[in-house]
Structure 1
Amino acid sequence: MGAQWSQVFPPKPTFTETSLGSQEGKVFLITGGYSGIGLELAKILYSKHARVYIAGRSEQKAVQAIADIRAEHPLSNGSLEFLFLELDDLRGIRAAADAFKALETRLDVLWNNAGVSRPPLGSVSKQGIELQLATNCLGPFLFTQLLTPLLETTAAANSKTAPGSVRVVWTCSNIVELSAPPGMLIMSELDDPPQDQSRVYTNSKAGNWLLSAELARRSGPAGVVSVALNPGTAYTNLFRHTPAVWFWAYLLMCWPRTAAYTELYAGLSPDIGLRNNGCYVVPFGRLAREQDQREDLLRALRAEEEGGSGRAREFWEYCVAKTRDYYN
């Protein structure tokens, strides 16, 4: 519990905007980048002259966020662009990936930051899939798969000068460590979700962690680093569906800017690379130690040939089956 306590009350961040040099020439993509943690991350990256794409469903919110960021950092040589992306509609994700690839020939870091938490019971995606699983796992999985060739091409170009700098960051939560069932995920609950939105949310966040581990295994040889993280619980729109009776929990929340440092660390810190691909980051920018994590979760992340349960591979294959009709 000491490790969990340190995630609720973490030390001050040590990797911040002051740790970064110019990011000019790099291309970053943040899903959900016009509010909350993603917005604060976009501000930091743009201030360091990066080319930043903010992906989401609301062009109006994105345009306002872009105007606010530019006004806050008038001396930046970077750029800000909106990319239309609806993670709960698998039919349109190919178009979003194609639109991005039509504009860019590289992608340095993809932050799978957007998500939904505890929507009204019975909420489903455009394809009739439970909304949290669809938005937090299946949509990001498909989007990442479609962009993986570009990530791998960028990693190859960086292999001599900046190995391990091309990354995919998956937003998890310490609710997995606290509440996930033994073995991390009960696969039967995916197609027959329990009538408990907190449990379904936990399942979706467990899925993010599993996908991160499996991507590291599959694309690590091509130079792509995959990182899962608990950003820290922050005051964001993610909790707009959380019951008011949980108000006391809000007193423990941090500001989005602080949690953005966790995501910044995961995406850009030199502490992370191919040598520790598949690592897990905790608030506000620290590598989690294996001895502080549940052994059953670590086994779920590992392949059977590595002494694990193979749950990460099993969930990956589940996501492949659910999204295979939407690649073209």
Structure 2
Amino acid sequence: MGAQWSQFFPPKPSFTEADIPPLDGKVFLITGGASGIGYEIARALYQKNGRIYIAGRSESKAQKAITRIQQTLPLSEIGGRLEFLHLELDDLNSIKSTVEEFKKREQKLDVLWNNAGVSRPPTGSASKQGIELQLAINCLGPFLLTQLLLPCLQAVDPTVNPSRVVWVSSQAVELSAPQGGLIMSEVRSPPQDATRLYVNSKMGNVFLATEFERRYGSSQRILSVACNPGAASTNLFRHTPSVKYLAWPLLYKPEMAALTELYAGVSKDVTMEANGCYIIPWGRISKNLRADLLEAAKLPEEGGTGRAAEFWTFCEEMTAAYH
């Protein structure tokens, strides 16, 4: 329980915005970058001269965020760039056009933050394809987006600084996921339990991170990590406003949780040797992820259960028609 306690009440961060290296010429894509944690990531990268794409549904919200960030420092002092990229994670049919638009503007992608998410929407909420909404937005949309962006991630020179994919999970995984992480029958036939479905989707993010590492880490030298950014007061709770009041002693400012994701995305501590790791607040590589979850990330021939690979195959099946 001590490991969980330290995530509820993390120690003072050893990685801060001051530790972000210069980002001249580097390209970043943040889903859900117009508000909350994603906004704070974009702001920090901009001040280090990164080229940042804020990907989301609403151009007006993104442009407001861009204007606000640009006002933090005079343009004469900043070499960074902020752009909007239209993205609807709940519509698999639209994601290919998003990637095609990105490729018109950029040839490479240094870091992809799969940061956007939804938590406990009304029962029965579904994507444009009729898929349970949390599974669609938190897993299937990011999975397809990452697969289609793979050539851009591969275009980064790994001998200089490997490209990275950050999959955002939640502490709820360690606290509430069933033994083995996922019950695949629940994934294929979602129960009418919004909280369980949220946990399942965030467990899926951990499995996608570890399975991406297994498939592309050694051969392509792309870093793939999952993280619990930490409990932050953001619009993630828009469907459950009571949570903000009940859990307020455990909620931190979004800029604190952003440090976790920034650490995952740009810290020099996250090396190829740490590929596939799980990162906890406010930028620490976990040494205590549940043993059954570590086992689920391994193939049967490696002494594991292969559940992560099974979930990856499920995601491939669900997105195959949209490539």
- Shift, 1:103, TM fit: 0.6
Distance 1:251 1:180 in 2: 23
- Shift, 1:245, TM fit: 6.4
Q: Deviations over 1:19-39 (max 9, x none)?
A: 123111000000000000000
Query: Is structure 2 residue 173 aligned with structure 1 residue 171?
Result: no
1:168 touches 1:225 (CA, 8 Å); kept in 2? yes
2:280 touches 2:286 (CA, 8 Å); kept in 1? yes
- After superposing on structure 2, the runs of 4+ consecutive aligned residues of structure 1 that deviate more than 6 Å are none
Alignment gaps of 5+ in structure 2: none
> Aligned with 2:226: secondary structure?
strand
Name the stretch that deviates more: 304-313 or 114-123. 304-313
Change (3 A) 1:211 1:245: closer
2:108 touches 2:154 (CA, 8 Å); kept in 1? no
Q: 1:216 aligns with which of 205, 213, 217?
A: 213
1:152 touches 1:219 (CA, 8 Å); kept in 2? no
> Aligned with 1:251: secondary structure?
helix
Matches within 5 A, 1:270-289: 270-289=268-287
Give the counterpart letter for 1:238 in structure 2: L
Matches within 5 A, 1:106-121: 106-121=108-123
Give the counterpart letter for 2:2 in structure 1: G
2:167 touches 2:205 (CA, 8 Å); kept in 1? yes
1:40 touches 1:257 (CA, 8 Å); kept in 2? yes
Distance 1:244 1:109 in 2: 34
Change (3 A) 1:246 1:237: closer
> Aligned with 1:183: secondary structure?
coil
- The percentage of counterpart residues that share the same residue type is 59
- Shift, 1:250, TM fit: 2.2
Aligned to 1:10: 10
In the superposition, the TM-score normalised over structure 2's length comes to: 0.97
> Aligned with 1:29: secondary structure?
strand
Give the counterpart letter for 1:325 in structure 2: A
> Aligned with 1:13: secondary structure?
coil
Matches within 5 A, 1:257-272: 257-272=255-270
In the superposition, the TM-score normalised over structure 1's length comes to: 0.96
- Shift, 1:169, TM fit: 0.1
- Shift, 1:293, TM fit: 2.2
Name the stretch that deviates more: 176-185 or 296-305. 296-305
Distance 1:246 1:45 in 2: 28
Query: Is structure 2 residue 53 aligned with structure 1 residue 53?
Result: yes
Give the counterpart letter for 1:129 in structure 2: I
Matches within 5 A, 1:132-171: 132-154=134-156, 157-159=157-159, 161-162=160-161, 165-171=162-168
Q: Deviations over 1:51-92 (max 9, x none)?
A: 000000000000000000001122211100000000000000
Matches within 5 A, 1:32-47: 32-47=32-47
Aligned to 2:201: 204
Distance 2:181 2:309 in 1: 13
2:168 touches 2:227 (CA, 8 Å); kept in 1? yes
Q: 1:100 aligns with which of 79, 99, 102?
A: 102
Q: Deviations over 1:185-204 (max 9, x none)?
A: 00011121111100000000
> Aligned with 2:282: secondary structure?
coil
1:227 touches 1:277 (CA, 8 Å); kept in 2? yes
Alignment gaps of 5+ in structure 1: none
Query: Is structure 2 residue 305 aligned with structure 1 residue 303?
Result: no
> Aligned with 2:279: secondary structure?
strand
Distance 2:300 2:36 in 1: 38
1:26 touches 1:50 (CA, 8 Å); kept in 2? yes
